[in-house]
Chain A
């Protein structure tokens, strides 16, 4: 069973630039959630994708956007980067839906450390 993977591991950008982070979900999972974790804090929910559709969003501005692909991998895009966007970005996958197999337990990838200068 393949776990959740994320790329890249580290990224340095300058203010105003755009960034794309990638996540491959665990085998058999159909739901991907993205979280932002500032230094010394707990993760904050950005949004979730279920079967290629946005399925809930946290308190983040529209310049944070995402995609989910037919193989359930996902991208997080951030436009017009600000200094406060510097954080660890975590992706988590789970088996969502309405069936009996739904578990909802989220398994996390290793994260992408984004630094905005």
Chain B
């Protein structure tokens, strides 16, 4: 079974600063995807970034980038130039990419607050 661990329940960052959210996972699979989703108070789960395990290059999306360490089973999210709109709950999620059943396994999430 796959597990996803987000050990930091809350973090706070000053506007315009950089923050890193941690995530570790456990799996015996070799092919999988990793995701970060953002859930603001409006509840809508929004995809932030996606990483395929076979790719060595870390994914980036504008101010968001990941540090993917496959051997260590670590997948952290770095948010640069933090904005007030980044305030939300952030979930790390795992998906096996083989087979037709592509369920997401989520961590417990981390609440990020961006201070003005």
Contact = CB atoms under 8 A, between A and B. Distances in A.
Interface in B51-95: 91, 93, 95
B43 A110 contact: yes
Interface residues of B, number: 25
Given A42-B109, A104-B95, A107-B47, A48 B103 contact: yes
A72 interface: no
Contact of B43 (A31, A41, A94, A111): A111
A105 B50 CA distance: 8
Given A42-B91, A43-B45, A111-B44, A96 B102 contact: yes
Contacts of B16: none
Given A42-B109, A104-B95, A104-B97, A88 B103 contact: no
A57 to B, nearest CB: 9
Interface in A30-56: 31, 33, 35, 40-45, 48, 50, 55-56
Nearest to B33: A104
Contacts of B105: 45
Contact of B47 (A96, A97, A98, A105): A105
B45 A42 contact: no
Contacts of A50: 100
Interface of B: 4, 33, 35, 37, 42-47, 50, 91, 93, 95, 97, 100-109
Nearest 10 Cβ contacts at the A-B interface? A56-B101, A42-B106, A108-B45, A45-B103, A104-B102, A110-B44, A111-B43, A42-B108, A43-B106, A42-B109
30 contacts: A31-B102, A33-B102, A33-B104, A41-B108, A41-B109, A42-B91, A42-B106, A42-B108, A44-B106, A45-B103, A48-B101, A48-B103, A50-B100, A55-B100, A56-B101, A56-B103, A88-B43, A90-B45, A92-B45, A92-B104, A94-B102, A96-B102, A104-B33, A104-B97, A105-B35, A106-B102, A108-B44, A108-B46, A110-B42, A111-B43
